[in-house]
Structure 1
Amino acid sequence: MTVRKLITALIVPLLVVLAGGGLAACSSSDDADGTQSSQVKISDQWVKAAPDGMTSAFAKVRNNGKTQVRIVSASSDVAGSTQLHEVVTENGVSTMKEKADGYVVGAGKTLDLTPGGAHIMLMDLRRPIAAGDLVTIQLVFADGSMQTVSASARDFAGNQEDYGNAPAASSTMPSMSMTMDHSHH
């Protein structure tokens, strides 16, 4: 483990605890403070390794509370901008689009953020993300509460998306063409 990774692994969780900024991804969720973030447990979180440009983050988002929650935005120090994305299929073409209303997770339900489905898009990467790196992502909920998640980067060859300004790459699903819609920017 490099010194940088070791420092990140030790300092980030400590800062989260000291700042009181939401629950760590590995902590339990008990609705104790009444915030949306306190109802949610994040698990199986990971980020696709990428040398530059953009990448995606994935996880299971479990709402253990008695009311629905809404994730309205995300941010990360490794990205110039971050968006919540969904994949919409029209006329046989799947397109990634920003989910402007955020992700709603019903009471007792789990939202799966997966390659080829809903995911968190990390754009304008400020540094390469190598397999094994830890990436910190801050989730913001509709009530203003936040939860910080640390996700490990891994190599992933699937879902080689075409982001609109690069030649199309092959997909692991030959019948599916995927593009990214930036028309709202």
Structure 2
Amino acid sequence: MRRIFWMLLTLGALVWAQGTPSAHTHGPSEGPLKAQGLWVRYVGGNTAALFGTFFNPGPAPIRILGFRSPVAAKSELHQTRMDPNTGVARMEPVEGYLLAPGARLELRPGGYHGMLMGLKRPLKLGEVIQVEVLLEGGKVLPLQVPVRLDPPNPDGGS
């Protein structure tokens, strides 16, 4: 009886930690993959960074392989890591990212992020660019992403 109690308590905590499904399903999707709050920061020159959140509410894992955009010659998924020897932050390419069922991937400054390199033209603040998320199995999630200096306001404002 005690074992069943602890199993139910653990299951309830996991369900509670996930929140309600509707809280995570805003934005475009490819199958079960959801995108929310995506934005591109133009950093000048020929580089921009992609930020936002991806969520997998489905029952199967989803692997993000990378990104592409018609405005960039090359796109990569990166992770910023602190070098333990020097204390200097470095960006490193990542081969892909596996989102387990219920998992989130937050692309943010100082963490995982998408890099758009070799921009074919300067980006303009406020414009919306096309970005495609490349998924395992040949699927593509097409997105329209705004160019901004700062992240969108989480309460819905700009």
- Give the structure-1-normalised TM-score: 0.63
The residue that corresponds to 1:60 in the other structure is 53
CA distance in 2: counterparts of 1:67 and 1:140, whole angstroms: 17
Work out which of the residue numbers 119, 122, 125 in structure 2 matches 1:128.
122
The residue that corresponds to 1:112 in the other structure is 106
Moved over 2 A (4+): 49-52
The residue that corresponds to 2:27 in the other structure is 26
- RMSD value over aligned CA atoms? 1.5
After superposition, the C-alpha distances for 1:5-61 in whole angstroms (9 at most, x for unaligned) are xxxxxxxxxxxxxxxxxxxx834x5xxxxxxx3111101000003443111011110
List runs of 5+ in structure 1 lacking aligned partners.
Answer: 1-24, 30-36, 157-185
After superposition, the C-alpha distances for 1:58-82 in whole angstroms (9 at most, x for unaligned) are 1110101111111012100110100
% same residue: 28
Is 1:98–2:93 an aligned residue pair? yes
- Give the structure-2-normalised TM-score: 0.73
CA distance 1:88–1:51, change in 2 (3 Å): closer
Work out which of the residue numbers 136, 139, 154 in structure 2 matches 1:142.
136
The residue that corresponds to 2:35 in the other structure is 42
Secondary structure of 1:61's aligned partner? strand
Alpha carbons 1:70, 1:142 under 8 Å: kept? yes
Normalized per residue, the structure richer in strand is: 2
CA distance in 2: counterparts of 1:89 and 1:105, whole angstroms: 23
CA distance in 1: counterparts of 2:126 and 2:46, whole angstroms: 18
